[in-house]
Structure 1
Protein backbone atom coordinates (compact mmCIF):
# COMPACT_ATOMS: atom_id res chain seq x y z
CA UNK A 1 0.00 0.00 0.00
CA UNK A 2 1.36 3.36 -0.99
CA UNK A 3 1.44 6.42 1.26
CA UNK A 4 2.42 10.03 0.74
CA UNK A 5 4.01 11.57 3.83
CA UNK A 6 3.86 15.38 3.75
CA UNK A 7 6.09 16.64 6.55
CA UNK A 8 8.82 19.30 6.74
CA UNK A 9 10.45 18.25 10.02
CA UNK A 10 13.43 16.09 8.93
CA UNK A 11 13.71 13.98 12.10
CA UNK A 12 9.99 13.26 12.28
CA UNK A 13 9.86 12.46 8.57
CA UNK A 14 12.76 10.02 8.88
CA UNK A 15 11.03 8.32 11.82
CA UNK A 16 7.76 8.08 9.89
CA UNK A 17 9.43 6.53 6.85
CA UNK A 18 11.43 4.04 8.90
CA UNK A 19 8.48 2.93 11.02
CA UNK A 20 5.88 2.71 8.26
CA UNK A 21 8.20 0.91 5.84
CA UNK A 22 8.71 -1.68 8.57
CA UNK A 23 4.89 -2.05 8.57
CA UNK A 24 5.09 -2.96 4.84
CA UNK A 25 3.97 0.41 3.44
CA UNK A 26 5.55 2.01 0.39
CA UNK A 27 6.35 5.58 1.41
CA UNK A 28 6.78 8.62 -0.79
CA UNK A 29 7.65 11.95 0.81
CA UNK A 30 7.12 15.67 0.24
CA UNK A 31 8.66 18.39 2.40
CA UNK A 32 7.22 21.51 0.76
CA UNK A 33 3.80 22.65 -0.41
CA UNK A 34 4.92 22.54 -4.05
CA UNK A 35 6.27 18.98 -3.80
CA UNK A 36 3.11 17.77 -2.09
CA UNK A 37 0.86 19.46 -4.64
CA UNK A 38 2.72 17.91 -7.56
CA UNK A 39 2.66 14.38 -6.16
CA UNK A 40 -0.95 14.54 -4.95
CA UNK A 41 -2.21 15.54 -8.38
CA UNK A 42 0.04 13.29 -10.49
CA UNK A 43 -0.09 10.03 -8.52
CA UNK A 44 -2.53 7.88 -6.59
CA UNK A 45 -2.16 6.94 -2.93
CA UNK A 46 -4.10 4.83 -0.47
CA UNK A 47 -3.46 7.42 2.23
CA UNK A 48 -1.86 10.86 2.56
CA UNK A 49 -0.43 11.86 5.94
CA UNK A 50 -0.57 15.64 5.81
CA UNK A 51 1.07 18.27 7.99
CA UNK A 52 -0.75 21.60 7.74
CA UNK A 53 2.23 23.93 8.23
CA UNK A 54 4.50 23.65 5.19
CA UNK A 55 7.14 25.77 3.48
CA UNK A 56 5.41 27.58 0.64
CA UNK A 57 1.79 27.09 1.59
CA UNK A 58 -0.96 25.78 3.85
CA UNK A 59 -1.97 22.13 4.04
CA UNK A 60 -5.65 23.10 4.11
CA UNK A 61 -5.26 24.50 0.59
CA UNK A 62 -3.88 21.11 -0.49
CA UNK A 63 -7.09 19.53 0.77
CA UNK A 64 -9.04 21.96 -1.40
CA UNK A 65 -6.89 20.91 -4.37
CA UNK A 66 -7.70 17.25 -3.70
CA UNK A 67 -11.41 18.09 -3.62
CA UNK A 68 -11.26 20.08 -6.85
CA UNK A 69 -9.50 17.25 -8.67
CA UNK A 70 -11.66 14.54 -7.05
CA UNK A 71 -8.68 12.52 -5.86
CA UNK A 72 -9.68 9.41 -3.93
CA UNK A 73 -6.85 9.18 -1.39
CA UNK A 74 -7.68 9.02 2.28
CA UNK A 75 -6.16 11.85 4.32
CA UNK A 76 -4.93 11.95 7.90
CA UNK A 77 -3.93 15.40 9.11
CA UNK A 78 -1.04 15.58 11.57
CA UNK A 79 -0.49 19.03 12.99
CA UNK A 80 0.74 20.95 16.01
CA UNK A 81 -2.02 23.50 15.42
CA UNK A 82 -4.32 23.47 18.41
CA UNK A 83 -7.14 25.59 16.97
CA UNK A 84 -10.45 23.76 16.83
CA UNK A 85 -11.33 25.72 13.68
CA UNK A 86 -8.41 24.12 11.81
CA UNK A 87 -9.60 20.64 12.78
CA UNK A 88 -13.17 21.38 11.74
CA UNK A 89 -12.07 22.95 8.45
CA UNK A 90 -9.80 20.01 7.66
CA UNK A 91 -12.56 17.48 8.23
CA UNK A 92 -15.07 19.58 6.27
CA UNK A 93 -12.60 19.67 3.36
CA UNK A 94 -12.53 15.87 3.22
CA UNK A 95 -9.84 14.73 5.65
CA UNK A 96 -10.68 11.39 7.22
CA UNK A 97 -8.87 11.88 10.51
CA UNK A 98 -6.93 14.47 12.53
CA UNK A 99 -4.03 13.44 14.74
CA UNK A 100 -2.49 16.24 16.84
CA UNK A 101 1.27 16.41 17.34
CA UNK A 102 3.08 14.94 19.15
CA UNK A 103 1.71 11.47 18.45
CA UNK A 104 2.83 7.86 18.82
CA UNK A 105 3.87 6.11 15.62
CA UNK A 106 1.88 2.93 16.44
CA UNK A 107 -1.26 5.06 16.77
CA UNK A 108 -0.68 6.65 13.36
CA UNK A 109 -0.11 3.21 11.83
CA UNK A 110 -3.34 1.93 13.40
CA UNK A 111 -5.29 4.89 12.03
CA UNK A 112 -3.84 4.37 8.55
CA UNK A 113 -4.82 0.69 8.65
CA UNK A 114 -8.35 1.54 9.80
CA UNK A 115 -8.73 4.18 7.09
CA UNK A 116 -7.57 1.82 4.33
CA UNK A 117 -9.94 -0.92 5.57
CA UNK A 118 -12.89 1.47 5.54
CA UNK A 119 -12.15 2.86 2.11
CA UNK A 120 -11.07 -0.27 0.22
CA UNK A 121 -12.22 -3.36 2.12
CA UNK A 122 -15.60 -2.37 3.62
CA UNK A 123 -14.06 -2.10 7.08
CA UNK A 124 -13.10 -5.77 7.36
CA UNK A 125 -9.75 -7.41 8.06
CA UNK A 126 -10.64 -10.62 6.19
CA UNK A 127 -11.21 -10.53 2.43
CA UNK A 128 -12.93 -13.36 0.55
CA UNK A 129 -12.87 -13.82 -3.22
CA UNK A 130 -13.82 -17.18 -4.67
CA UNK A 131 -11.65 -19.82 -3.01
CA UNK A 132 -9.20 -17.18 -1.81
CA UNK A 133 -9.13 -15.71 1.71
CA UNK A 134 -6.81 -12.87 2.73
CA UNK A 135 -6.11 -11.72 6.28
CA UNK A 136 -4.97 -8.13 5.67
CA UNK A 137 -3.28 -7.28 9.01
CA UNK A 138 -1.54 -10.67 9.19
CA UNK A 139 -0.58 -10.43 5.49
CA UNK A 140 -1.65 -14.03 5.01
CA UNK A 141 -3.39 -15.58 2.00
CA UNK A 142 -5.02 -19.01 1.85
CA UNK A 143 -6.88 -20.99 -0.81
CA UNK A 144 -9.54 -23.18 0.80
CA UNK A 145 -7.48 -23.14 3.98
CA UNK A 146 -4.16 -23.93 2.31
CA UNK A 147 -1.52 -21.22 2.88
CA UNK A 148 -0.04 -19.41 -0.10
CA UNK A 149 3.50 -18.14 0.45
CA UNK A 150 3.81 -14.70 -1.14
CA UNK A 151 6.59 -12.17 -1.23
CA UNK A 152 5.89 -8.68 0.09
CA UNK A 153 5.47 -7.34 -3.45
CA UNK A 154 3.17 -10.19 -4.49
CA UNK A 155 0.97 -9.61 -1.44
CA UNK A 156 0.78 -5.87 -2.16
CA UNK A 157 -0.17 -6.66 -5.76
CA UNK A 158 -2.87 -9.05 -4.57
CA UNK A 159 -4.36 -6.39 -2.28
CA UNK A 160 -4.40 -3.88 -5.13
CA UNK A 161 -6.26 -6.32 -7.37
CA UNK A 162 -8.71 -7.29 -4.62
CA UNK A 163 -9.47 -3.64 -3.85
CA UNK A 164 -10.39 -3.17 -7.52
CA UNK A 165 -12.21 -6.43 -8.29
CA UNK A 166 -13.82 -6.37 -11.70
CA UNK A 167 -11.93 -3.23 -12.77
CA UNK A 168 -8.94 -3.12 -15.11
CA UNK A 169 -5.73 -1.95 -13.43
CA UNK A 170 -3.22 -0.63 -15.93
CA UNK A 171 0.38 -1.81 -15.94
CA UNK A 172 1.46 1.73 -15.17
CA UNK A 173 -0.81 1.91 -12.13
CA UNK A 174 0.56 -1.40 -10.88
CA UNK A 175 4.16 -0.22 -11.32
CA UNK A 176 3.39 3.01 -9.48
CA UNK A 177 1.65 1.15 -6.65
CA UNK A 178 4.47 -1.33 -6.16
CA UNK A 179 7.43 0.99 -6.53
CA UNK A 180 6.43 4.46 -5.38
CA UNK A 181 9.04 7.06 -6.34
CA UNK A 182 10.97 4.40 -8.29
CA UNK A 183 8.13 3.78 -10.79
CA UNK A 184 10.24 5.10 -13.65
CA UNK A 185 12.41 2.01 -13.27
CA UNK A 186 9.49 -0.06 -14.62
CA UNK A 187 9.70 1.46 -18.14
CA UNK A 188 9.53 -1.92 -19.85
CA UNK A 189 7.06 -3.31 -17.28
CA UNK A 190 9.11 -6.50 -17.12
CA UNK A 191 8.93 -6.45 -13.32
CA UNK A 192 5.15 -6.03 -13.45
CA UNK A 193 4.82 -9.02 -15.77
CA UNK A 194 7.07 -11.10 -13.53
CA UNK A 195 5.18 -10.27 -10.33
CA UNK A 196 1.79 -10.92 -11.94
CA UNK A 197 3.01 -14.20 -13.43
CA UNK A 198 4.39 -15.40 -10.09
CA UNK A 199 1.24 -14.42 -8.20
CA UNK A 200 -1.00 -16.19 -10.72
CA UNK A 201 1.16 -19.31 -10.57
CA UNK A 202 1.15 -19.47 -6.77
CA UNK A 203 -2.63 -19.00 -6.54
CA UNK A 204 -3.40 -21.65 -9.17
CA UNK A 205 -0.90 -24.11 -7.67
CA UNK A 206 -2.72 -23.70 -4.35
CA UNK A 207 -6.01 -24.65 -6.02
CA UNK A 208 -7.52 -21.31 -7.06
CA UNK A 209 -8.93 -20.65 -10.50
CA UNK A 210 -7.26 -18.21 -12.87
CA UNK A 211 -8.60 -15.09 -11.17
CA UNK A 212 -6.09 -12.64 -12.66
CA UNK A 213 -7.00 -11.94 -16.28
CA UNK A 214 -4.91 -9.96 -18.75
CA UNK A 215 -6.86 -7.32 -20.68
CA UNK A 216 -4.81 -6.98 -23.83
CA UNK A 217 -3.21 -3.58 -24.28
CA UNK A 218 -4.54 -2.28 -20.96
CA UNK A 219 -3.56 -4.26 -17.88
CA UNK A 220 -5.07 -6.83 -15.52
CA UNK A 221 -8.39 -7.54 -13.84
CA UNK A 222 -9.20 -9.74 -10.82
CA UNK A 223 -12.36 -11.70 -11.62
CA UNK A 224 -13.98 -14.65 -9.84
CA UNK A 225 -17.10 -14.74 -12.02
CA UNK A 226 -16.11 -18.06 -13.60
CA UNK A 227 -16.85 -19.76 -10.26
CA UNK A 228 -20.35 -18.30 -9.84
Structure 2
Protein backbone atom coordinates (compact mmCIF):
# COMPACT_ATOMS: atom_id res chain seq x y z
CA UNK A 1 0.00 0.00 0.00
CA UNK A 2 1.30 3.45 -0.93
CA UNK A 3 2.36 5.74 1.88
CA UNK A 4 -0.12 8.48 2.77
CA UNK A 5 2.33 11.12 1.53
CA UNK A 6 2.40 9.45 -1.89
CA UNK A 7 -1.40 9.32 -2.05
CA UNK A 8 -1.64 13.02 -1.19
CA UNK A 9 1.05 13.88 -3.74
CA UNK A 10 -1.01 12.22 -6.46
CA UNK A 11 -4.05 14.25 -5.41
CA UNK A 12 -1.96 17.43 -5.54
CA UNK A 13 -0.92 16.57 -9.09
CA UNK A 14 -4.52 16.05 -10.17
CA UNK A 15 -5.83 19.26 -8.61
CA UNK A 16 -2.84 21.34 -9.72
CA UNK A 17 -1.80 22.65 -6.31
CA UNK A 18 1.08 21.64 -4.05
CA UNK A 19 0.20 22.34 -0.43
CA UNK A 20 2.43 24.22 1.95
CA UNK A 21 0.42 22.53 4.70
CA UNK A 22 -0.20 18.94 3.64
CA UNK A 23 -2.15 18.37 6.86
CA UNK A 24 -4.98 20.45 5.38
CA UNK A 25 -5.32 18.13 2.40
CA UNK A 26 -5.11 15.09 4.65
CA UNK A 27 -7.89 16.51 6.85
CA UNK A 28 -10.01 17.28 3.77
CA UNK A 29 -9.80 13.62 2.78
CA UNK A 30 -10.58 12.16 6.22
CA UNK A 31 -14.14 10.91 6.67
CA UNK A 32 -15.87 11.16 10.05
CA UNK A 33 -15.83 7.36 10.40
CA UNK A 34 -12.00 7.47 10.64
CA UNK A 35 -11.50 10.57 12.79
CA UNK A 36 -9.96 10.50 16.28
CA UNK A 37 -9.19 13.05 18.97
CA UNK A 38 -5.88 13.80 17.23
CA UNK A 39 -7.08 13.31 13.64
CA UNK A 40 -9.93 15.67 12.71
CA UNK A 41 -12.44 14.76 10.02
CA UNK A 42 -13.40 16.98 7.09
CA UNK A 43 -16.75 18.29 8.33
CA UNK A 44 -15.53 21.75 9.30
CA UNK A 45 -13.65 22.11 6.02
CA UNK A 46 -16.75 20.98 4.11
CA UNK A 47 -18.72 23.79 5.78
CA UNK A 48 -16.19 26.37 4.60
CA UNK A 49 -15.67 24.87 1.16
CA UNK A 50 -19.38 25.02 0.40
CA UNK A 51 -19.30 28.80 0.93
CA UNK A 52 -16.12 29.35 -1.10
CA UNK A 53 -17.55 27.28 -3.95
CA UNK A 54 -20.80 29.24 -3.89
CA UNK A 55 -18.97 32.57 -4.04
CA UNK A 56 -16.73 31.56 -6.94
CA UNK A 57 -19.51 29.97 -8.98
CA UNK A 58 -21.85 32.92 -8.39
CA UNK A 59 -19.14 35.26 -9.60
CA UNK A 60 -18.49 33.09 -12.66
CA UNK A 61 -22.19 33.05 -13.55
CA UNK A 62 -22.39 36.85 -13.33
CA UNK A 63 -19.43 37.15 -15.69
CA UNK A 64 -20.84 34.55 -18.07
CA UNK A 65 -24.28 36.18 -18.38
CA UNK A 66 -24.15 39.88 -17.37
CA UNK A 67 -27.79 40.47 -18.23
CA UNK A 68 -29.32 37.53 -16.35
CA UNK A 69 -31.73 38.31 -13.51
CA UNK A 70 -31.37 36.84 -10.03
CA UNK A 71 -34.29 34.51 -10.67
CA UNK A 72 -32.42 33.03 -13.63
CA UNK A 73 -29.03 32.86 -11.92
CA UNK A 74 -30.23 31.23 -8.70
CA UNK A 75 -31.23 27.85 -10.16
CA UNK A 76 -28.02 27.76 -12.20
CA UNK A 77 -26.00 28.36 -9.05
CA UNK A 78 -27.90 25.70 -7.13
CA UNK A 79 -27.38 23.19 -9.95
CA UNK A 80 -23.62 23.80 -9.97
CA UNK A 81 -23.03 23.63 -6.21
CA UNK A 82 -25.32 20.67 -5.52
CA UNK A 83 -23.77 17.69 -3.77
CA UNK A 84 -24.38 15.66 -6.92
CA UNK A 85 -22.26 18.02 -9.02
CA UNK A 86 -19.53 18.17 -6.38
CA UNK A 87 -19.47 14.37 -6.39
CA UNK A 88 -19.11 14.36 -10.19
CA UNK A 89 -16.06 16.61 -9.93
CA UNK A 90 -14.65 14.44 -7.15
CA UNK A 91 -14.92 11.42 -9.46
CA UNK A 92 -13.14 13.36 -12.21
CA UNK A 93 -10.28 14.00 -9.77
CA UNK A 94 -10.39 10.44 -8.38
CA UNK A 95 -10.71 11.73 -4.82
CA UNK A 96 -12.48 8.58 -3.70
CA UNK A 97 -9.26 6.59 -3.81
CA UNK A 98 -7.61 9.04 -1.41
CA UNK A 99 -10.37 9.30 1.22
CA UNK A 100 -9.62 7.52 4.49
CA UNK A 101 -12.64 6.06 6.27
CA UNK A 102 -13.61 3.44 8.77
CA UNK A 103 -13.60 -0.20 7.73
CA UNK A 104 -17.38 -0.62 7.82
CA UNK A 105 -17.89 2.51 5.71
CA UNK A 106 -15.28 1.35 3.23
CA UNK A 107 -16.85 -2.11 2.94
CA UNK A 108 -20.28 -0.56 2.30
CA UNK A 109 -18.92 1.26 -0.76
CA UNK A 110 -18.15 4.56 0.92
CA UNK A 111 -15.62 5.59 -1.72
CA UNK A 112 -18.43 5.69 -4.27
CA UNK A 113 -21.12 7.35 -2.11
CA UNK A 114 -22.30 10.68 -3.47
CA UNK A 115 -22.50 12.41 -0.08
CA UNK A 116 -18.98 11.35 0.92
CA UNK A 117 -17.49 12.34 -2.44
CA UNK A 118 -19.33 15.67 -2.45
CA UNK A 119 -18.20 16.50 1.07
CA UNK A 120 -14.61 15.61 0.19
CA UNK A 121 -14.73 17.87 -2.86
CA UNK A 122 -15.95 20.83 -0.84
CA UNK A 123 -13.37 20.08 1.84
CA UNK A 124 -10.54 20.07 -0.69
CA UNK A 125 -11.73 23.47 -1.92
CA UNK A 126 -11.55 24.79 1.65
CA UNK A 127 -8.10 23.28 2.10
CA UNK A 128 -6.82 25.03 -1.03
CA UNK A 129 -8.40 28.28 0.15
CA UNK A 130 -6.81 28.10 3.61
CA UNK A 131 -3.46 27.04 2.18
CA UNK A 132 -3.14 29.58 -0.64
CA UNK A 133 -5.98 32.11 -0.56
CA UNK A 134 -9.03 32.95 -2.65
CA UNK A 135 -7.30 33.58 -5.97
CA UNK A 136 -5.73 30.13 -6.02
CA UNK A 137 -8.96 28.52 -4.83
CA UNK A 138 -10.89 30.35 -7.54
CA UNK A 139 -8.50 29.15 -10.23
CA UNK A 140 -8.79 25.60 -8.96
CA UNK A 141 -12.59 25.66 -8.89
CA UNK A 142 -12.85 27.12 -12.38
CA UNK A 143 -10.51 24.42 -13.70
CA UNK A 144 -12.37 21.66 -11.91
CA UNK A 145 -15.79 22.94 -13.00
CA UNK A 146 -14.61 23.65 -16.56
CA UNK A 147 -17.49 23.02 -18.96
CA UNK A 148 -20.07 22.82 -16.22
CA UNK A 149 -20.48 26.59 -15.84
CA UNK A 150 -21.14 26.84 -19.58
CA UNK A 151 -23.89 24.22 -19.31
CA UNK A 152 -25.39 25.64 -16.12
CA UNK A 153 -28.63 26.64 -17.84
CA UNK A 154 -29.28 23.08 -19.00
CA UNK A 155 -28.39 21.70 -15.57
CA UNK A 156 -30.77 24.14 -13.90
CA UNK A 157 -33.54 23.22 -16.32
CA UNK A 158 -33.30 19.67 -15.07
CA UNK A 159 -34.05 20.62 -11.45
CA UNK A 160 -37.79 19.95 -11.69
CA UNK A 161 -37.20 16.61 -13.37
CA UNK A 162 -34.56 15.67 -10.82
CA UNK A 163 -36.88 16.54 -7.93
CA UNK A 164 -39.70 14.51 -9.45
CA UNK A 165 -37.35 11.54 -9.87
CA UNK A 166 -36.26 11.94 -6.23
CA UNK A 167 -39.89 11.82 -5.08
CA UNK A 168 -40.88 8.92 -7.31
CA UNK A 169 -37.84 6.94 -6.24
CA UNK A 170 -39.18 7.09 -2.68
CA UNK A 171 -42.74 6.20 -3.61
CA UNK A 172 -44.08 9.75 -3.26
CA UNK A 173 -46.51 11.73 -5.38
CA UNK A 174 -44.97 14.30 -7.78
CA UNK A 175 -43.95 17.62 -6.16
CA UNK A 176 -46.68 20.23 -5.82
CA UNK A 177 -45.93 23.75 -7.10
CA UNK A 178 -48.08 26.61 -5.86
CA UNK A 179 -48.00 30.35 -6.52
CA UNK A 180 -48.15 31.93 -3.07
CA UNK A 181 -47.57 35.58 -4.00
CA UNK A 182 -47.19 37.97 -6.90
CA UNK A 183 -45.69 41.44 -6.64
CA UNK A 184 -44.35 44.22 -8.82
CA UNK A 185 -46.02 46.09 -11.69
CA UNK A 186 -48.32 44.23 -14.11
CA UNK A 187 -45.77 44.48 -16.94
CA UNK A 188 -42.96 42.98 -14.81
CA UNK A 189 -44.43 40.79 -12.08
CA UNK A 190 -42.34 38.82 -9.60
CA UNK A 191 -43.71 35.37 -8.82
CA UNK A 192 -43.22 33.62 -5.50
CA UNK A 193 -43.54 29.85 -5.86
CA UNK A 194 -43.57 27.17 -3.19
CA UNK A 195 -42.75 23.56 -4.00
CA UNK A 196 -43.81 20.94 -1.49
CA UNK A 197 -43.34 17.18 -1.28
CA UNK A 198 -45.90 14.77 0.14
CA UNK A 199 -43.43 14.06 2.96
CA UNK A 200 -43.62 17.73 4.00
CA UNK A 201 -40.32 19.19 2.78
CA UNK A 202 -40.68 22.49 0.94
CA UNK A 203 -38.82 25.44 -0.55
CA UNK A 204 -39.79 28.90 -1.79
CA UNK A 205 -38.25 30.96 -4.59
CA UNK A 206 -38.95 34.13 -6.52
CA UNK A 207 -38.41 34.99 -10.19
CA UNK A 208 -39.89 37.06 -13.00
CA UNK A 209 -41.55 34.04 -14.54
CA UNK A 210 -43.41 31.13 -12.99
CA UNK A 211 -41.17 28.64 -14.77
CA UNK A 212 -37.96 30.20 -13.47
CA UNK A 213 -39.37 30.41 -9.94
CA UNK A 214 -40.39 26.75 -10.08
CA UNK A 215 -36.95 25.70 -11.27
CA UNK A 216 -35.27 27.77 -8.57
CA UNK A 217 -37.52 26.35 -5.86
CA UNK A 218 -36.89 22.80 -7.09
CA UNK A 219 -33.13 23.34 -7.12
CA UNK A 220 -33.20 24.78 -3.59
CA UNK A 221 -35.25 21.87 -2.29
CA UNK A 222 -32.93 19.35 -3.94
CA UNK A 223 -29.93 20.94 -2.26
CA UNK A 224 -31.72 20.86 1.10
CA UNK A 225 -32.66 17.20 0.61
CA UNK A 226 -29.09 16.26 -0.28
CA UNK A 227 -27.83 17.97 2.87
CA UNK A 228 -30.41 16.10 4.92
CA UNK A 229 -29.32 12.78 3.43
CA UNK A 230 -25.73 13.20 4.68
Q: TM-score, normalised by structure 1?
A: 0.26
Higher strand residue share: 1
Kindly indicate whether structure 1 or structure 2 has the higher relative contact order, using CA contacts under 8 Å at least 6 residues apart.
2
Q: TM-score, normalised by structure 2?
A: 0.26
